[in-house]
Amino acid sequence: MYVAVKGGERAIENAHAWIAEERRGDTDIAELSIAQIREQLSLAVNRVMAEGSLYDPDLAALAIKQARGDLIEAIFLIRAYRTTLPRFGASEPVDTGAMACDRRISATFKDLPGGQVLGPTFDYTHRLLDFKLAADGEALEAPSREAAPGDVPHVTDFLNREGLIEEAPHDDTPPPDLTREPLEIPAERALRLQALTRADEGFTLGLAYSTQRGYGRNHAFVGELRIGSVPVEMDIPELGFSVEIGEVTLTECETVNQFKGSKIEPPQFTRGYGLVFGQTERKAISMALVDRALRWEELGEDNVGAPAQDAEFVLYHADNIQATGFLEHIKLPHYVDFQSELELVRKLRRKAGAQQVQEAAE
Amino acid sequence: MTEYNFAYLDEQTKRMIRRAILKGLAIPGYQVPFASREMPMPYGWGTGGVQVSAAVLTPEDTFKVIDQGADDTTNAVSIRSFFQRTAGVATTTSTSDATVIQTRHRIPEEPLHEGQILVYQVPIPEPLRFLEPRESETRKMHSLEEYGLMHVKLYEDISRHGHIATSYAYPVKVEGRYVMDPSPIPKFDNPKLGDMAAIQLFGAGREQRIYALPPYTKVVSLDFEDHPFEASKADHPCGMCGATDSYLDEVIIDDAGGRMFVCSDTDYCEARQAAGHMGKDNGGKDAA
């Protein structure tokens, strides 16, 4: 006997209770603290801040805990929280040239002013499971020395002095705001970069990789990759000058790309740019490659039809919160549409069946 | 819950959405871009409808939410409780008592009256999307009123299958100008879109579009003279209330192919049963 489905409300409540229990796991095991996540899973925290577009390590750590380690779910929690925050204003542009670098490498010059600083990188670790970590490891202290004094100049500036790399003219036009205006195509570079910096890391990585394998190849060298903290300044109207309100850790990647020249541009090196919250270098490098691929039109290159060159394709599909929501919505009931499809298929089959019978008779 | 504004969104955002709604009402069927916000439910789960509802709800409103025609499907329950918590508005399951109805995939069976607002959740607002994936192209096609591609698609259906093989999200033309996606309602519901007394608002959150039909707008389902549009439904009466004029869900009741048909609009079905109408699976005096 059919009974109309009731009790959706109770089912939802129970599902919430169950997931809360699952989140905690075995209560004989100590509960994770927000501080533990922030300090010991800091790269996960960085990704959540970057793609959540909100620089707050404690909130990101909370989101990771609440999401049971599902980073896209955590990013979603941060985004939903972020939209409710009032806006007091905008900061001055940060000066990455004044960055206190933890890491700064160039793949294009062996040595350069400011030096090569490896910093805390996985790069030359051997990827062998460290079973010592499974036991209670004691805290290790890395050797340290005084930071070299002075700013660390950008590598691209050296090339610029010789006129070998395209100019990046100073522009004071306020950039559009992706979170306050609907995305419309064609999108200028500032808007594309804004979308890319919060884009899904995996999607951006895949696109960047596709350019390396020939789908819109743009011959990128990592001119420079730097990670460190920069001061954030804000103009306070009442004071009439800007004051430092805090600092953020950023990863910046500038690629130097081979370019043989086009109808509108002379042979020179061209630029790709990535700037992402936190220590997120895979994302920053990917972003720079995709940025460069998307610039084909302004540099007078051919569109070879590569996915990474297609701004509409890239920008409309790079946001993992949009993507995961729409993907997962197919779990919702669709009985009404399915019913109308059932009737349509039955009708089509009746027609096809009648035709076959008739053909057999003939 | 005091930490959020009435109906969750801040007043600035609501004003932005109301502007888009007004523009939509002024140009029926035209998709107005709006700066959709991240909502606390996923994109694709009604965020467009939720934002439109948040922008039109007032504390005096009575709110109804249906999904697949039913008030008690899980996502309808979730959206209703969201507005109960954030707006504290009265809620109802009665179609006639509601002042704002948010819906996914259905138009209520009971005709709506003046003063009501029907808010649709829209997944893909662009009726031309599956013919042309590029937004930059489809916007051009709309502005040039270039709908040939859609007619070719419908014609190809007829030449291949003998009739138009679109059963839901069936495209309509609004006031002789814009071709519009009515959201994935079954084409059975299409005739209710036109000349409706209520305001109809369509919200697509992920795609950042709002569009609208003011009351008594002319809405025509696309067809050909020799293949006129036909609203279809399962050819049965409702097993519970005996209605012959309502859209039906097919429910599997055993593992031997047994099934019954029942109204997808739960309020309509329950009201009929309360008025003494019984279908063949329910005591049966109205069994047709």
pTM: 0.89
By annotation, the residues of B acting in catalysis are 29, 238, 241, 263, 269
What is the structure's pLDDT at A7?
65
**Pairing between strand B209-213 and B172-174?**
unpaired
Residues of B in contact with A334 (CB under 8 A): 68, 105, 184
Residues of chain B with C-beta less than 8 angstroms from the C-beta of A53: none
pLDDT in tens, chain A (362 residues): 455 556 678 888 999 999 999 999 999 999 999 999 999 999 999 999 999 999 999 999 999 999 999 999 999 999 999 988 888 888 999 999 999 999 999 998 888 888 899 999 999 999 999 888 888 777 788 888 888 777 888 988 888 887 888 888 888 888 899 988 899 889 999 999 999 999 999 999 999 999 999 998 888 999 999 999 999 999 988 888 999 999 999 999 999 998 888 888 888 899 999 999 999 999 999 999 999 999 999 888 889 999 999 999 999 999 999 999 999 999 988 888 888 888 888 888 887 787 777 777 77
Chain A residues inside the 8 Å CB shell of B265: none
Instruction: Give B248's contacts in chain A (Cβ within 8 Å).
Output: 339
Q: Is A183 near chain B, with CB under 8 Å?
A: yes
Contact criterion met (CB < 8 Å) for A4 and B266: yes
Residue in A12, A184, A327 nearest the CB of B77: A12
- Which contiguous run of DSSP H or E holds residue B66? strand B62-67
Structure tokens at A342: 């059932």
Q: How big, in percent rounded to 5, are the helix, strand and coil portions of chain B?
A: 25, 20, 55
Q: Where are the alpha helices (DSSP H) in A117-260?
A: 155-161, 189-197, 201-212
| Cβ neighbours for A342, distance < 8 A, ≥ 6 positions apart | B250
Q: Residue B135: what pLDDT? A: 92
- How many Cα atoms sit within 13 Å of B247 on the Cβ side? 32
Q: Are B171 and B127 in contact (CB under 8 A)?
A: yes
Q: Do A325 and B43 touch (CB under 8 A)?
A: yes
pLDDT of residue B49: 97
Q: Does A325 touch chain B (CB under 8 A)?
A: yes
Nearest residue of chain A to residue B82 (CA atoms): A9
CA–CA dist A65, A67 (Å, integer)? 5
Q: Is A10 on the interface with B (CB under 8 A)?
A: no
A186 upstream amide cis, omega within 30 of 0: yes
Q: Is A8 on the interface with B (CB under 8 A)?
A: yes
Q: In chain A, which residues have their Cβ closer than 8 Å to the Cβ of B45? A: 325, 329, 332
A232, A246 Cβ separation under 8 angstroms = yes
C-alpha to C-alpha distance for B257 and B261, rounded to whole angstroms = 13
Q: In what order do the strands lie in the sheet with B117-121?
A: B32-33, B209-213, B199-204, B117-121, B100-104, B62-67, B90-91
User: Which residues of chain A neighbour B206 with C-beta distances below 8 Å?
Assistant: 322, 325-326
Q: What is the pLDDT of residue B3?
A: 67
- If you search the block for the tokens 């205006």, which residue do you land on? A181
Nearest to A340 among B38, B77, B187 (CB): B187
In chain A, % helix, strand, coil (3-state, to 5) comes to 45, 15, 45
The pLDDT score that the predictor gives to residue A132 is 85
Q: How far is B222 from chain A (nearest CA, A)?
A: 18
How many Å apart are CA A306 and CA A293, to the nearest integer? 9
Question: Which chain B residue shows the shortest CA-CA distance from A341?
Answer: B167
Class for domain B11-127+172-221, per CATH? alpha beta
- Cβ atoms of A60 and A45 closer than 8 Å: yes
**CB-CB under 8 Å, B78 with A339:** no
> CB distance from A5 to chain B under 8 Å?
yes
Q: Which residues of B touch A351 (CB under 8 A)?
A: 161-162
User: B56 to chain A, minimum CA–CA distance in Å?
Assistant: 18
> What is the predicted pLDDT for the residue at B234?
82
CB B270 within 8 A of CB B278: no
Q: What angle do CA B68, B73, B77 make, to 5 degrees?
A: 120
Rounded to a whole number of angstroms, the distance from the CA of B250 to the nearest CA of chain A is 7
Of the candidates A5, A180, A344, the beta carbon closest to that of B165 is on A344
Residue B111 DSSP one-character state: P
How much is the ipTM here?
A: 0.84
Cα–Cα distances (Å) from A1 to A8, B252, B282, in that order, read: 19, 10, 9
CA distance B123 to B45: 8
Domain ranges of chain B: 11-127+172-221, 233-282
Residue ranges of chain B with per-residue pLDDT less than 50: 1-2, 287-288
Q: Answer yes or no: do B72 and A335 touch at CB < 8 A.
A: no
* Residue from A84, A181, A183 to probe the interface with B (highest B Cβ count within 10 Å): A84
Q: How far lies B20's CA from each of B23, B52, B67, B73, B115, in Å?
A: 5, 10, 24, 29, 20
- A250 bridge partner residues: A228, A277
State the pLDDT at residue B1.
40
